[in-house]
Amino acid sequence: MASPVEPEFRGARRRLVETLQDKGIRDLAVLRAVDMVPRHIFVPETVRHRAYEDSALPIGNGQTISQPSVHARSVEHLQLTGKEKVLEIGTGSGYQTALLAELAAQVFSVERYRELLDRARPILQQANVRNVSLSLGDGTLGWREYAPYDGIVVSAGAPHVPPALKEQLAEGGRLLIPIGDREEQMLTLFTKRGGRLERRDITPVRFVPLIGAGGWPG
């Protein structure tokens, strides 16, 4: 990715990569992606100076860009090799979309707020991300047209796995989703084997709620 690199952010981004290593992120492809993607262009200007802290930040519409370590851990669990087709629910700022685009062949991302999608689209272009398709709508219904997906990552907290996402996951595919109540969830990894989902708990997290037909009421 030929990123619009501003030298003043390079050092900060390198330090973020070191912080993620200290926090246990081991996958070199994931660390390289964090080193490549200019997170500062995905966050609002008012918080740009904090873009390379390991913190969640507000992105508008009452939503937040997650902590870089949460993003890194999530994408690490998808174990991408560069060949996969991935579905992301909750484009938000588009930052994780850009990380996924570095790590997979094709990324499909669904967001329910038009304002966020309209903001993310030109930023992804500016970051030279080409292998991403964006869609406005209810991501709890997935994106049937391009299914099945080798990986699905849900960036908002759900009461349970939306049935459409289980259906649209390929055999052997991995689904990462925060499951719990509206305040606190367990980041959960599901692997599809023999048409069934095997469950593994990863870590407690706090995500904004997944609003939609297969999630929480709005």
Q: How far is CA 190 from CA 48, 71, 123, 149, 160, in A?
A: 34, 17, 31, 13, 12
Q: Which is nearer to ligand SAH, 115 or 171 (CB)?
A: 115
Q: Please, what is the minimum distance in Å from the beta carbon of residue 80 to ligand SAH?
A: 16
Part of the chain binding ligand SAH (CB under 6 A), chosen from 46-54, 98-106, 110-118, 186-194: 110-118
Of 44, 48, 59, 58, the C-alpha closest to 6 is: 48
10 Å CB burial of residue 121 (0-12, 13-18, 19+) is middle
Q: In angstroms, rounded to a whole number, what is the distance separating the alpha carbons of residues 57 and 54?
A: 10
Q: In angstroms, rounded to a whole number, what is the distance separating the alpha carbons of residues 150 and 168?
A: 9
The residues in 2-61 that bind ligand SAH, with binding defined as CB under 6 A, are: 59
**C-alpha R_g of the chain:** 16
Part of the chain binding ligand SAH (CB under 6 A), chosen from 122-130, 166-174, 179-187, 205-213: 205-213
List CB contacts of 9: < 8 A, sequence separation 6 or more.
38, 40, 51, 52
Query: Is residue 110 near ligand SAH by the rule CB under 6 A?
Result: yes
Part of the chain binding ligand SAH (CB under 6 A), chosen from 5-13, 44-52, 104-112, 166-174: 104-112
Q: Which is nearer to ligand SAH, 64 or 188 (CB)?
A: 64
Query: Is residue 177 near ligand SAH by the rule CB under 6 A?
Result: no
Q: Which residues are catalytic?
A: 66
Select from 142, 149, 155, 188 the one that contacts ligand SAH (CB under 6 A): 155
Query: Is residue 111 near ligand SAH by the rule CB under 6 A?
Result: yes
Select from 38, 68, 92, 142 the one that contacts ligand SAH (CB under 6 A): 92
Query: Is residue 90 near ligand SAH by the rule CB under 6 A?
Result: yes
3-state percent breakdown (helix, strand, coil) of the chain, nearest 5: 35, 30, 35
Strand partners, 211: 216
* Contact residues: ligand SAH, CB under 6 A: 59, 63-66, 89-90, 92-93, 95-96, 110-113, 116, 138-140, 155-156, 208, 210-212, 215
